[in-house]
Amino acid sequence: MNVDIDFSIWLASKTKWAHLTKLISMPVVPRVGEYVKFRNAQMGDYFGWKVSSITYRECGPIEVLTELLDDIDGRRYSFEEEQEFDEYFNSYLVEGWRCERGIGPNSQYRGEP
């Protein structure tokens, strides 16, 4: 028996930020601190997304949030190049991820864009 899980992932460049969600059926619920890899036919499933929190709902799917992808030393972005951000963002949309809020500015990054 599988469990429906509403996953949240984040992608960021120095100037852009995107929150993506997808309902995925899995055999178990990952635990905080574990890593999950998501299918990405175009870009590959090289990245492990670290689970940061889990919310169980009385009704509806379990919500699993992950940390920002590839946030080396807390820099608050995933990709050096804007083009790379766009490629990964679009590849996740092809895989059925939703970005209901759209791409916004990365207000977390404090360095030079």
Question: What are the domain boundaries of the chain?
Answer: 3-105
- pLDDT, residue 34, reads 96
Specify the pLDDT at position 44.
86
Alpha-carbon span 63 to 60, nearest angstrom:
9
Per-residue pLDDT of the chain (113 residues), as tens digits, is 899 999 999 999 999 999 999 999 999 999 999 999 999 999 888 788 999 999 998 888 999 999 987 766 667 788 888 999 999 999 999 999 999 999 999 888 767 65
Listed residue (14, 83, 92, 98) closest to 49, CA to CA: 92
